[in-house]
């Protein structure tokens, strides 16, 4: 039953996010949300994505850590939180509300991202690595302000994802905001 509920909630709400939609953030988003879980989801951007993906009974499940600051080259870059089935990471360099999330279910690793607003792109480049593909794979997907993919898992280790929005011109891709922070499935 839980898996069916996770799947239905994720399909409906994940589709809205993938189409560039946003989910309203309830007033409770401003305060820590435990929803029967041990740790709180207290970062508003991560909370919004967690809620859109079904909250404690959804695709990510319960938080297994508190929100942690993420640094790149010694500079603050965003926040990350770990959940039962994956991670959600707020990556504001690519848009003030940009959150990337990854989780696993039934032999697939899922990754979604958005919103990149105020930026809108012609395409997205998505990279992922895993124990069976340590060199990584990169694929190009349709543009807009958000998206999602799923990858058939080839091992039981973590899949690590990043995404970059690009505009396509006469001389190739221009990707001004760079790669997002990482999101991964559990180990």
pLDDT category at 138 given cuts 50, 70, 90 is very high
Between CA 42 and CA 180 the distance in angstroms is 21
Between CA 148 and CA 142 the distance in angstroms is 10
SS3 of 106, please?
coil
Query: What is the per-residue pLDDT across 91-115, written as a single tens digit (0 to 9) for each?
Result: 999 999 999 999 999 999 999 999 9
Q: Is the pLDDT of residue 35 over 60?
A: no
Q: Is the pLDDT of residue 147 over 70?
A: yes
Query: What is the per-residue pLDDT across 58-100, written as a single tens digit (0 to 9) for each?
Result: 999 999 999 999 999 999 999 999 999 999 999 999 999 999 9
Segment 30-49 mean pLDDT: 77
Q: Is the pLDDT of residue 9 over 70?
A: no
What is the pTM (predicted TM-score) of this model?
Answer: 0.80
Q: Which two tokens stand for residue 4?
A: 């069916």
Count of Cβ atoms closer than 10 Å to residue 170 Cβ = 4
Q: Which two tokens stand for residue 121?
A: 């792109």
Between helix 2-18 and helix 44-52 the angle, nearest 10°, is: 120
Between CA 27 and CA 32 the distance in angstroms is 11
> Distance of CA 80 to CAs 41, 85, 122, Å?
10, 14, 27
Q: What is the average pLDDT value for the chain, to the nearest integer?
A: 85
């Amino acid at each position: 039953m839980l898996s069916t509920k996770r799947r239905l909630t994720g399909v409906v709400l994940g589709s809205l996010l993938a189409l560039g939609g946003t989910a309203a953030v309830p007033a409770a988003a401003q305060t820590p949300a435990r929803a029967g879980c041990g740790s709180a989801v207290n970062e508003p951007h991560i909370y919004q994505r967690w809620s859109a993906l079904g909250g404690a009974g959804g695709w990510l499940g319960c938080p297994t850590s508190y929100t942690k600051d993420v640094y790149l080259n010694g500079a603050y870059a965003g926040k990350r939180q770990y959940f039962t089935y994956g991670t959600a990471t707020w990556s504001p360099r690519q848009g003030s509300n940009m959150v990337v999330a990854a989780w696993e279910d039934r032999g697939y690793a899922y990754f979604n991202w958005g919103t990149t607003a105020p930026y809108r792109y012609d395409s997205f480049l998505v990279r992922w690595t895993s124990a069976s593909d340590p060199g990584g794979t990169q694929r190009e997907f349709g543009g807009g302000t958000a998206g999602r993919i799923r990858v058939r898992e080839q091992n039981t280790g973590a899949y690590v994802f990043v995404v970059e929005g690009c505009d396509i011109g006469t001389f190739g891709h221009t990707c001004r905001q760079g790669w997002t922070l990482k999101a991964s499935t559990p180990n």
